[in-house]
Structure 1
Amino acid sequence: MPDNSRYSAHIGYLFNELPLESRIAAARAAGFSAIEHPAPYAVPAADMAALLREAGLPYVQFGLRSGDASRGEKGIAIFPDRRDEFRANLAEGLDYAEAVGVRMLHAMAGVLPAAEWRPEHRACYLENLGLAAEEAGKRGIRIIVEAMSPGAVPDYFLPTAASAREAIAEAGHANLGLLLDVFHTVAAGDDPVQAIHDSGETIAHVHIADHPGRHEPGSGRIDFAAVRSALDAIGYAGFIGCEYVPAGVTADGLGWLPRRA
C-alpha cells in the first residue's frame, strides 16, 4: 500500500480498547496521518476540533446519523416517510463537519430486503443524495456513497461498487463521490483492481481490510500491492482509510504500517 502519509485510522474500529477521545492521539503516535469515525456526535464539535489540533491530524470523513443501530438500521435515505429526519440529520452533520474541518460526509442508504424494494425507495434515495450534495457543496463538503456487501450487511440497498456507481450517476450531481471499500468489494465477489479501474475518478475515498476475516492487511488473501498499483494508475491521491477489525490489541497488529522516518 502507499506510504504512511496517506493512511487514515478508522477509530470506530482501531484503538477501540481506548475511550473515543483518546484514540486520536493513539493514532498519531502509531504513525497514522489522519483519522475517521462514522459517528462522532457524542463528542461536542468544539472538543473534537481541539483534540484534532492537539494531535495535528485531519478528520477525513464521517457519516450522517444512520438510524437505530439496535434495530440494524444502516441509513435512512431510502425511506420516503423519513425525509424530514434525513434533512435534520444532514443539517446537523454539515454543521459538525464544518466545525471540525471534515470535507466528506457519508450518507448511508439503508437496509431493506430486495423483495420490499419499490420505485419510491430509489426515487427518495436519489432525491436525498441530490439535496445532500447541493447543500454540502455550499460549504465545500462532498457527499460520499459506499456499497456494503451482503455477507457483512445483509439487505443493504447498495450491495456492490457497481450499484453505488449507478446511484451516483443517476443522481447526477458533481458533488457526489464513491467510497470504495476493498473488503466489501471482495466480499461481494468482485475484483478490487477491476473495481478501481471501473470507478476511476469517481473514487473520493478508499477503505481497506483484508478478506476473509476483515483484519489487518496481510492477514488474508487480498493482493494489496495490486490494489496500490491500481490506485496509482487512476491517480488517486486521497487517504487510505483503515477500517479493519484488529485481530488483537490495535498497536500489536501494526507491523504492516510503514513508520515515519
Structure 2
Amino acid sequence: MPIHLGPYADRLSAHLGFLYTEHPLPERFAAAARDGFRIMEHPNLFATPAKNVAGWMRDSGLTLVQTSFPAGDPSRGEKGFAALPDRAQAFRESIEPTLDYVEEIGGCRFVHAMAGVRPAGVAEERLLDTYRESLGLAADAAAKRGMEIMIEPIGPGSIANYVVDDPLVAVRLIREVGRPNVKLLFDAYHCHCLGHDPAALIREHAALIAHVQIADDPGRHEPGTGTIAFDPIFEALAAVGYAGSVGCEYHPATTTEEGLGWIKGAA
C-alpha cells in the first residue's frame, strides 16, 4: 500500500547523518539532490568549516532545515549535555559559537539542544532545572537571530537513560520555559516506540511542533518496512496545518537509493 504524503511530498528532508552514509559527507549533498531532495538536516556538522557546508548546499541546491548544538564527548558517552549540572557552563559557552556557525551556513532556523544522559546520583528535578535554564539562555540568544530552539524526546530504545524520554515531558518543559521560540522536535518513531499515538499527539500539540521526523518500527528503517501507520500521521499534519518539513531520519534497510521506493511510490 502506498503512503499518502499529501502536501509533504515536496517537503521531505534528507537526514544526512542517517541517509547516504555510503558516501563521504561532501558527496551526500549532491546524492540527495539527485534523488529529488531539496531540504536536508544533520545534527553534527561542526567538524567541517561552515563555509564548506554552505558551499555544498549552494552547489546542490539544498537548504538546511535543522541541526543541533554539539553533542559532547563521545568517549564519555555524552549525548548532549544541556541538562547536566556539571556541564551547564560548557553548554552556555557553546551557545553563541553554535549560533554563529549556523548563521554562517545560512537559512537554518531550528537548533536542537540535546539534554543528555542521566548521570548516576543526580536528582531528576536538578537535571530538569538545569535543562530549563539552558533552554532559556539558548532561546534568548536564538531569538535575536530569528532562530528557534527545539527539544526532542528520545526513548530508551535509542538512547538509554536520556533525560527527556517522553513527548509529554518535552511538552511540559516547553511550557515551563515560557519562551515562544522553544518548540518540539516531533519524532513519530520515538513517539510510537514509547507507546503513544503519533497522530493524536500531533493534533493535541500542533502549536508546539517546529519539525517532524519519521522512521518505521522495528529496525528504524524507511516507512513501509514495519508496523507504523503513516497515513494517519500525514493526515494529522495536514489537518493541523503543519507547514514545516518532514525529516527522513531512518537507517536504510539496504542502501539509501534502494530504499527510496516508499517516496517514489507514494500517492
Superposed pair shares fold, TM > 0.5:
yes
Cα deviation for residue 211 of structure 1 reads 0.9
Gaps of 5+ in 2: none
Aligned position for 1:61? 66
Match of 1:20 among 10, 25, 43: 25
Contact 1:181 1:207 in 2 (8 A): yes
Between the aligned partners of 1:250 and 1:119, the Cα distance in structure 2 is 41
Amino acid at match of 1:93: T
- Cα distance in 2 for partners of 1:71, 1:214 equals 25
TM-score normalised by length of structure 2: 0.93
Moved more, 186-195 or 80-89: 80-89
Question: What is the aligned partner in structure 1 of residue 98 from structure 2?
Answer: 93
Q: Distance in 1 between matches of 2:192 and 2:121?
A: 24
**Counterpart amino acid of residue 254 in structure 1:** L
Higher relative contact order (CA 8 A, sep 6+): 2
Equivalent residue for 1:194? 200
| Counterpart-to-counterpart distance in 1, 2:263 and 2:212 | 16
Give the distance between the partners of 2:26 and 2:255, measured in 1 at CA: 17
CA distance in 1, matches of 2:81, 2:20: 28
Q: 1-side partners of 2:180 and 2:31: how far apart?
A: 36
CA distance in 2, matches of 1:113, 1:93: 24
Residues 1:138 and 2:144 aligned together:
yes
Aligned to 1:31: 36
Answer with 77-86 or 101-110: which moved more.
77-86
Contact 1:104 1:144 in 2 (8 A): yes
Structure 1 segments (4+ residues) deviating >4 Å: none
For the Cα contact (< 8 Å) 2:223–2:230, is it kept in 1?
Answer: yes
* Cα distance between partner residues in 2 of 1:114 and 1:193: 35
Distance 1:258 1:114 in 2: 46
After TM superposition, give the deviation of residue 83 of structure 1 in Å: 2.1
Unaligned runs of 5+ residues in structure 1 are: none
Count of equivalent residues: 260
Q: Please say if residues 127 and 163 of structure 2, whose CA atoms lie closer than 8 Å, have aligned partners that are also in contact.
A: no
Conservation of the 8 A alpha-carbon contact between 1:4 and 1:31 = no
Alignment correspondent of 2:184? 178
State the match for 1:256 in structure 2.
Answer: 262
